[in-house]
Structure 1
Amino acid sequence: MSQNTPKLLDIIALTDDIPEYNLLRGQVGTIVELLADGAAFEVEFSDKNGQIYESVGLTSAQIMVLYFEPA
């Protein structure tokens, strides 16, 4: 699996607005389920208290995996 391939529990950022869910480009969520054999992802968006305010199925074109690679 390549480093940029989304996987379970990855932290992602939206690459586009999703107005039907009031989600904006750059909002950060967590992949909580792999769908369609890894072609799509269930992503949860939570507030600063950990309360989920949206759960949406997204494709890899709609997300960017955020990661940190130590030097």
Structure 2
Amino acid sequence: MDPITVDINKEWLSVADIAEYMDVSAFVVTSLLRGHELPGVKFGREWRVARLDFQDWLNARRQESATEVANTLRNQ
């Protein structure tokens, strides 16, 4: 499985950038940030996520999903 590469030419991504990339609402992204599921930094009232941290997070979630599916199939 090839790693995901985030093709956004910014070092820091906004909630809107991530929401658009993932095709989810800003509320979903903000919830992930507030719940410490997605690594980010709050600058004043705005959240920012380092592009490389977001990329690493996506790849980790992808690996977790693949492992979960494999375990489910093995246990059937």
Give me the TM-score of the superposition, normalised by structure 2: 0.22
- Higher alpha-carbon Rg: 2
> Greater share of strand residues, 1 or 2?
1
TM-score by length of 1: 0.23
